[in-house]
Amino acid sequence: MRILVSGGCKNGKSYIAQRLAKGQAKGRLYYVATMRPCDNEDIERIERHRREREGWGFDTVEQPVDINKCLDSCDTDASFLLDSTTALLANEMFPGSDSVNMDAPARVAGELVSLCQQVRDIVIVSDYIYSDAILYDELTDAYRRGLAYIDRTLAAVCDVVLEVAFGSITLHKGGEVFSALYEKVL
């Protein structure tokens, strides 16, 4: 199954996504990490996430850009967890300190759909960053708009779309196919 998981920051999205990816696994289980560490805080965050995944059976693949290249080193007949579209788009859209790729959202959305079509099972984590009362600058809003475009594109091709709020789930799509997996893992 293809599952999109979104919601606010520190709401338990990654934990639920890990359980779903593990629940879907019949053979190999991959964690596709997209974050490119910028400072010590990021390195510590990555280390913490890595420790949390210990013992779950994930093989970690680092793929901060060109997401489909992760398949070069993976068996496609497997269960994947991609965490997250947010970091992936940031890496693709802002490759250097003063360069911006405005075409990144459309390209990344297409690449993610292609990834979804090539693997047996996948859970993709995104971030819901759309309900604050801030008038953003043009570039930040273009990033937000781009991430929302990726979310909507993925929501259309995914079997299940979930919103996580502090560990609780709202199901926006795929209730029937999801219930069996839900009973198994949650």
Q: Which is nearer to other proteins, 37 or 175 (CB)?
A: 175
For residue 37, the minimal CB distance to other proteins (Å) is 25
Using CB under 8 A, list all residues that contact other proteins. 4, 6, 8, 128-135, 141, 144-145, 148-149, 151-152, 154-156, 161, 163, 170, 172-173
Q: Which is nearer to other proteins, 37 or 136 (CB)?
A: 136
CA angle 46, 120, 148 (to 5 degrees): 55
For residue 158, the minimal CB distance to other proteins (Å) is 9
For residue 142, the minimal CB distance to other proteins (Å) is 10
Q: Which is nearer to other proteins, 66 or 163 (CB)?
A: 163
For residue 55, the minimal CB distance to other proteins (Å) is 32
| Secondary structure in 3-state letters for the chain | CEEEEEECCCCCHHHHHHHHHHHHCCCCEEEEECCCCCCHHHHHHHHHHHHHHCCCCCEEEECCCCHHHHHHHCCCCCEEEEECHHHHHHHHHCCECCECCCCHHHHHHHHHHHHHHHCCEEEEECCCCCCCCCCCCHHHHHHHHHHHHHHHHHHHHCCEEEEEECCEEEEEECHHHHHHHHHHHC
For residue 144, the minimal CB distance to other proteins (Å) is 6
The distance of Cα 144 from the centroid of its chain, to the nearest Å, equals 15
Q: Which is nearer to other proteins, 121 or 151 (CB)?
A: 151
Which residue, among 139, 159, 7, 146, has the nearest Cα to 83 in the 3D structure?
7
For residue 148, the minimal CB distance to other proteins (Å) is 3
Q: Which is nearer to other proteins, 149 or 182 (CB)?
A: 149
Q: Which is nearer to other proteins, 34 or 126 (CB)?
A: 126
